[in-house]
Each structure stands twice: as C-alpha cells, then as structure tokens.
Amino acid sequence: MAQDDISRGEADRLRKLDDEARVAKTFEVIAAKRALWVWGDEDETLFTEDGKRNTLLPIWPYATVARLDNEGEVDGEHAIKISVDVFLKEWLPQLAEDDADIAIFPVEEMPAGVVTLSDFRSRLSVAQRVN
C-alpha cells in the first residue's frame, strides 16, 4: 500500500462518517498530505452534476476511498493524485472557467458537501494553518 493511502478497513470506516465529519477529514488530510485525489483516465477526469445540473468535480482525501466509489465502472479509470499546489494554480482557474464546484468525498455518488472554489480555497487555508 502506498504511503499516502489507507487500508480498505480504514476506508470503509471513513465512508461511514457523517457528511460533516467526511468534509472535515477531507480538508484535514489534503492539508497534511498536500494532495487530493480525483477519478479518471489518461485523457479525462470524472465530473458529475447535481440536481440543478451544476457541474461538480468529485474529490477524495485518499485513493482507496475514490476506488471504492468508482472502480469497475469504466475500464482504464483510476484514482489520480493531484498536488495541492497544482490544484490551486492549474485546476481551480480551469474549474472557474467551467463554472464548476467541488463535490467533497462522495460515497455512492452522494457528496458529503459541495463547495464553491472560493470556499474550497478558504477551507483549505484554514486547514493548512491547523496542520
């Protein structure tokens, strides 16, 4: 198991947390590990939509929880690690252009929370000060 990943048992435990705890854990881990995980393949990243058809980028704090939510759906897709620096400098501007928000730690396609890009940046900043 990679140093920045967790066991299946730990992933199952995290997936059972309530929404607020999953959101808090996500920001805590992203701040500490300086990375987050998305899902996709070599060419594309998985996006989803909410009930109002707003575009959302699902993110996870660990590859294992991303895999548990997505594996087996499409051949060739996998968890993709993104450093915080790259996410802030490259991904957030692109997400802003696409008018997308961020779906935090979805479990069975239900995000623990949805945050705007500015909320993501603010919450990450707070989490980084704590770590």
Q: What is the pLDDT of residues 31-61, one digit of tens each?
A: 999 999 999 998 899 999 988 999 999 999 9
| Residues 98-126: tens digit of each pLDDT | 999 999 999 998 999 999 999 999 999 99
How much of the chain, in percent, has pLDDT values that exceed 90? 81
Whether domain 8-130 has CATH 3.40.1350.90: the reply is: yes
- Provide the b/e sequence for 62-93 (b: ≥16 CB within 10 Å): bbbbbbbbbeeeeeebebbbbebeebbeebbe
Residue spans per domain, the chain: 8-130
Rounded Cα distance between 44 and 40, Å, is 6
